[in-house]
Amino acid sequence: MRKGLLTILILFLSVVLIACGSEGDSKWGELQEEGELVVGTSGTLFPTSYYPEGSDELTGYDVEIMREVAKRLDLELSFEEYGVDGLFSSIESGRVDMVINDMEITNSRQENYTFSEPYKYSYSTMIVREDDLSGIESLEDIEGKKHGGGATTVFAQIAEHFGAEIKSYGNVANDIYLRDVANGRTDLVINDYYLQSLALKALPEIEVQLHPDLQFHPTNSGIVMPGDADELKEKVDEVLNEMREDGTLTELSKEFFGGQDASKEPEKEVEEIEGLDL
């Protein structure tokens, strides 16, 4: 009798251990079973996730990285588009499996989500009016100014840290942000150096510029996954490392960032922001 109970107990514990062992890998197993990867992105962020003029084909640095990752993981790929402020909630709700949209890896975000290794390194800059730099000579001068951008972004957190008022938008294209600075509805837009420099190049008629003296907050961007997707992260990181070693990341970066390699850390000296809790 005791031997029979012991056997049942051992079998029960084995089942529990198997279940616990597979729980952390459930996302990767789910994707393998379904054979499809659903990824959230904005579709309005040039040059990482956007539609070229006259085209209905989504492309960009992030988009093409994701296509290559899915291909190497042997998964079909589809994109779902959301405003920047809705991308994290799309993971939480299960509407998407991952998000890629130049998402900075921060300590607070890592408490709730799993990030891949960085596929992009950069730093933050600031778009201001051409004629007077929006009255901004230092980061401290942001206080009381109006900052345009998504309310949940790191860039908005930086602006708030220095006392700016945040004007948030829906899923709008870059020209809306820039025109609002030019016409005085807002005073500045803090964002990624590569994205802002190329946006200005694409829209030279708008009377704004990058602030010539302010380069700050070194950044790195990763693919966002659910918080318990440890094995999925391992698989994605393996692919990204392969793409780094075989030159794919460099090739894609130069294609979309005007010949610049954003897959490597910049050599430029960039100011760290003290007291900013991300």
Class of domain 122-218: alpha beta
CB contact at 8 A, 27 and 232: yes
Burial of 35: CB neighbours in 10 Å, binned 0-12, 13-18, 19+: exposed
CB contact at 8 A, 261 and 119: no
To the nearest whole number, what is the mean pLDDT of the chain?
90
CATH number of the domain located at residue range(s) 30-120+221-256 in this protein:
3.40.190.10
Q: What is the pLDDT of residues 71-122, one digit of tens each?
A: 999 999 999 999 988 999 999 999 999 999 999 999 999 999 999 999 999 9
Instruction: Give yes or no for residue 63 having a pLDDT over 70.
Output: yes
When comparing pLDDT for 245 and 84, which is higher? 245
List the chain domain ranges: 30-120+221-256, 122-218
Q: What is the pLDDT of residues 21-41, one digit of tens each?
A: 444 458 999 999 999 999 999
Model pTM score: 0.80
Instruction: Give yes or no for residue 1 having a pLDDT over 80.
Output: no
What is the pLDDT, as a whole number, of residue 25?
54
Distance CA 39, CA 68 (A): 13
- Provide φ and ψ at 184, rounded to 5°: 90, 0
> What average pLDDT does range 241-255 have in this prediction?
98
Domains 30-120+221-256 and 122-218 share a fold: yes
